[in-house]
Structure 1
Amino acid sequence: MCTCTINKFIFCAFYLSMLFVIIYTNTFAKEMDAVTMKLSSRLAQSIVDNTMKQIPYNVNIMDENGYIIASGDKNRINTLHVGAVEAIKRRKTLPMTDEVGSYGQPGINMPLIFDGKVVGVIGITGKPQTVTPLASLLKMTAELLLEQAEQNKNEVKYENSLNSFLYQWSQVTDDINKNTGLLLEADNLKIDISKPRNVIAIQCPPEVIKQFRIDSADLSLPITANTVLIFTYLPSTIARCIELCKKKEFNIGIGDSTTSIGISVNQALRTLELSKIFINENYIYYKDIKFIDSILNSNIYSDKIISNFRQLEDSDTGKELIETIYQYIKNDGNVVKTSNVLHIHRNSLNHRLLRIHEIFNLDPRKTVDLFKLYLGYIYFTYYSYKS
């Protein structure tokens, strides 16, 4: 096989290997220096090792001062490469046709340029005319990696700034125009906070939160390992979230649409909480639980009624009476519907209602007394869950 054919074969194999190196070493993007954007010795050695699996030449990577930070010859690491020093000085590719003591061997040295600065040098030992194409590909790989790392750094910086802004914004319960700092930050992040938004609170496994996809116009903020807030003004996003949560049986709460986003955040989280406490999958919007929330915030409970509920909870018969109160209220005091739900005869239901009357001194058949029982049930259920 002629030398030309061999070189073509090596060139093709090396090119394919570089595609692998780009993908493989991208996982080491965090190894880039965040300030100077230069290759770390660990990342450089990873590139060298993977490259030398594909080509029969030694590869060196030097830092911005010409010192070898990665090499197929470990004895050369931390030594000065005179060819690299000259390539850095001239800012151009330099072939070395002769050996220069123990600090330089024949080969090619190509400076790595990033953001207009020389940040390192790629060197491959061998005949310059043979290894130059390989060095060019390796240089391209390293520079692409630097660009990707810079992009990743900017994305992380933006994400951190966005999360910080969203956290502060989520605390605002009054006029956002009073907070000049947040207005400026929103402008920098290109977020229009003058638009009324709904906040959606979703509880789901942590791995689902990471994979959760939202519209590009929406914003999301994880607040715990299993709770995420979504800020949206799109009805389609709300509909999609409700559909997903019903399908996956995730808990969801949706606050009112407002520019005082902190209010909607509190409403969404409160809806999430009360839907769990009262085990009602139909509690999705804050308006669904607003009445219960208002009752709980008014502190109009009766200690005696709550005490009676707690005594009933201590026995199976008592628990049946508590469930009877709940279903009787839920079914609007309709004896037939309540009996069917409880799977008991109407006479049995009437007997239970009589027992409830005797225990609470409140007649469930009377509207005012039934409302008092309802208030007691709400407070009893809420405080039982909290305790």
Structure 2
Amino acid sequence: MKILEHIAQDIVEKTSEILQYPISITDKEGIIIGSTDKNRIGLFHQPSLEVIRKNRVVNCKNEIEKRILPGVSTPLKFNNKVIGVLGIVGDPKEVKKYVQLVKNQVEMMCQEAFRKEMVDLKEKMVEMFVHQLIHYRESMNEINEQILQSAKLLEFDLHTNRVCLLIDLDNFSEKISAKKGTDDFYESFPMQYFQKELLSFFQLIFQENNDDMISFLSLERLIVIKALPYPRSFSALVEGLPNKLEKINTFLAKKYGVTAGISAGNISSTLSGIAESYHNAVKAMSIGKQFNRDSGIHIYNEQEMLWRLLPKELTSEYKEKLVQFIAPLIKQDNYEILSSTFIGFCQYNMNLSEASRNLFIHRNTIIYRLEKISEITSLNTSSFEHCMLLYTAIQCYEESRMEPVH
């Protein structure tokens, strides 16, 4: 068994420190693969074959030019199969009482190493599978076959409704890098250690069955491909997100001094739909961070996304013309107040009462500011067409302000 070969020497060194007796471990062929005396590694140990054949404890005698040392040897088992032999060197009468205890410890360490290897292997498979899903195209026949094989191995039901969630960790890598420079604990662990810790935490929060896939997409972004097996699964998920985000941010703030945001794509029922849900979750996160920074949860809404993305789809020439409409407004010292009031007015369906109640501004104040905007821009804020022009112009201008200066 390869796992025993990988951990034999580590087991020997840790165990012999406590036991104070030399220890050796051989593989199924009788070759020493771990020993307190490293010079013995690679030697053939004849009594080990007898131990494996008889499948019981055997006392060893000092012979063959000291290649076989006195002591007790016992078979090591994994899933009821002999995978090697443990030997404790010393007077058999003295060391025999420790054999069962050490044997149990070694077998337990093998089980744990195997479990860890399986977890690591599954995480790598999930990561690869997630990337196949979110980049899926119906025309890619070779990828399709790979997805079907991966789905079968991971017991992933391809016919269940799903939604993609994204979790963004704000400045996570930056915070860890800073801590590595000032904290010896953080310095002693690679970035992957912290990622695994976070992955385990998010699995506790989101993973309810084997059909829920969770993986890192980058150092600061995770994806959850969440199964929606029941009619109310999505609404229940959305209702529970504030509570989940609160738990997440409490954990992140305490451990790393960072916060997170969550976005959700649309519900999908096909392979191509999962990829679409992922891309829509990306849009929701981007738009949410830009226009709704106070909320940490951003749910994809097609109508809202199209409206928000409209300025991005316009030509540069058209954007410039729109911004010219509001050039006098931009020059005002109170531009931020006037523009934010107008945007709020539009978001609440151009309803003065609704806008006043939700913006916590007196109705007369909103009326005054809208009249001021009309006076400055010559656009009538009572006209839907003019409001649409003004709204889009402000969005274009705000987008240009956010673009990096080259």
| TM-score (structure 1 length as normaliser) | 0.73
Aligned-pair CA distance for 1:62: 3.6
Task: Assess, with a 3 A threshold, how the Cα gap between structure 1 residues 85 and 313 changes in structure 2: closer, same or farther.
Answer: farther
Matched position secondary structure for 1:191: coil
Provide the secondary structure at the position in 2 that maps to 1:322.
helix
Quote the residue 2:338 is aligned against. Answer: 321
CA deviation string 1:174-200 (max 9, x = no partner)? 699993442343233221111221222
What secondary structure, in the 3-state scheme, does the structure 1 residue paired with 2:159 have?
A: coil
Partner of 2:268: 258
State how 1:177-196 maps to structure 2 within 5 Å. 179-196=144-161
Q: 1:184 to 1:109 in 2, by over 3 A?
A: closer
**Preserved contact between residue 81 and residue 103 of structure 1 (Cα < 8 Å):** yes
One-letter code aligned to 2:3: M
Checking the alignment, whether the CA contact within 8 Å between 1:277 and 1:385 is kept in structure 2 is: no
SS at match of 1:362: coil
CA deviations 1:21-65 (Å, max 9, x no partner) are xxxxxxxxxxxxxx723234xx43443344344445332334555
Match of residue 165, structure 2, among 158, 181, 200: 200
- Give the letter aligned to residue 39 of structure 1: E
Tell me, yes or no, if the aligned pair for 1:170 and 1:265 is still in contact at 8 Å.
Answer: yes
User: 2 CA distance for matches of 1:176 and 1:87?
Assistant: 55
When residues 37 and 303 of structure 1 are mapped into structure 2, their CA distance, relative to the original with a 3 A threshold, is same
Q: Tell me: higher relative CO, structure 1 or 2? Use CA pairs within 8 A at least 6 residues apart.
A: 2
Report the secondary structure of 2:72's partner residue: strand
The 1-side partners of 2:284 and 2:319 are apart by 24
Distance, in Å, in 2 between the alignment partners of 1:141 and 1:348 is 74
Q: Structure 2 unaligned runs (5+)?
A: 173-193, 250-258
Query: Of 370, 373, 377, which aligns to 2:390?
Result: 373
What is aligned with 1:4?
A: none
Distance 1:309-1:168 versus aligned 2 partners, 3 A rule: farther
In the TM superposition, 1:27-176 aligns within 5 A as 36-40=2-6, 43-55=7-19, 57-64=21-28, 66=30, 68-73=32-37, 81-84=45-48, 87=51, 92-97=56-61, 101-114=65-78, 119-172=83-136
Q: Distance in 1 between matches of 2:267 and 2:167?
A: 17
For the residues of structure 1 that align with 2:153 and 2:298, how far apart are their CA atoms?
34
Q: TM-score, normalised by structure 2?
A: 0.70
Residues 1:360 and 2:377 are matched in the alignment: yes
Render the CA deviation track for 1:139-184: whole Å, top value 9, x for unaligned: 2322332233233323322222222112211223669999344234
Shift of 1:314: 6.2
Instruction: Output the CA distance in 2 between the equivalents of 1:99 and 1:319.
Output: 91
User: 1: CA distance between counterparts of 2:339 and 2:276?
Assistant: 34
Given the alignment, which residue of 196, 211, 230 partners 2:201? 211
Q: Match for 2:244: what amino acid? A: L
Q: What is the letter of the counterpart of residue 202 of structure 1?
A: I
- Whole-angstrom distance in 2 between the partners of 1:160 and 1:58: 38
Name the structure 2 match of 1:275.
288
In structure 2, what is the Cα distance between the partners aligned to 1:123 and 1:146?
16
Question: Would you say the 8 A contact 2:326–2:390 is kept in 1?
Answer: no
How far apart are 1:371 and its partner, in Å?
A: 1.4
Q: Deviations over 1:305-332 (max 9, x none)?
A: 2245577556633333322322332344
SS in 1 for 2:88: strand
Q: Is the 8 A contact 2:262 2:296 kept in 1?
A: no
Provide the C-alpha distance between the structure 2 equivalents of 1:282 and 1:130, rounded to a whole number of angstroms.
64
Measure how far apart 1:278 and its partner are.
Answer: 0.8
Percentage of matched positions with identical amino acids: 22
**Aligned-partner Cα distance in 1 for 2:111–2:132:** 32
Shift in CA distance, 156/72, structure 1 to aligned 2, threshold 3 Å: closer
**Contact conserved, 2:89 with 2:95, CA < 8 A, in 1?**
yes
| Ranges in structure 1 where 5+ consecutive residues have no aligned partner | 1-34
Rounded to whole Å, the distance in 1 between the matches of 2:29 and 2:296 is 67
**In the alignment, residue 376 of structure 1 is paired with which amino acid?**
A
Give the number of the structure whose alpha-carbon radius of gyration is greater: 1
Matched residue SS, 1:103: coil
Q: CA RMSD in A?
A: 3.8
Distance 1:203 1:366, change over 3 A: same
Secondary structure, counterpart of 2:21 in structure 1: coil
CA distance in 2 between counterparts of 1:121 and 1:82 reads 11
8 Å Cα contact 1:324-1:342 kept in structure 2: no
Secondary structure of the residue aligned to 1:121 is strand
What secondary structure does 1:190 align onto?
Answer: coil
Q: Deviations over 1:64-100 (max 9, x none)?
A: 5545454445665565545446546766532125555
1:72/1:191 Cα in 2 relative to 1: closer, same or farther (>3 Å)? closer
Instruction: Go from structure 1 to structure 2 and tell me whether the alpha carbon gap of 1:282 and 1:111 turns closer, same or farther (over 3 Å shift).
Output: closer
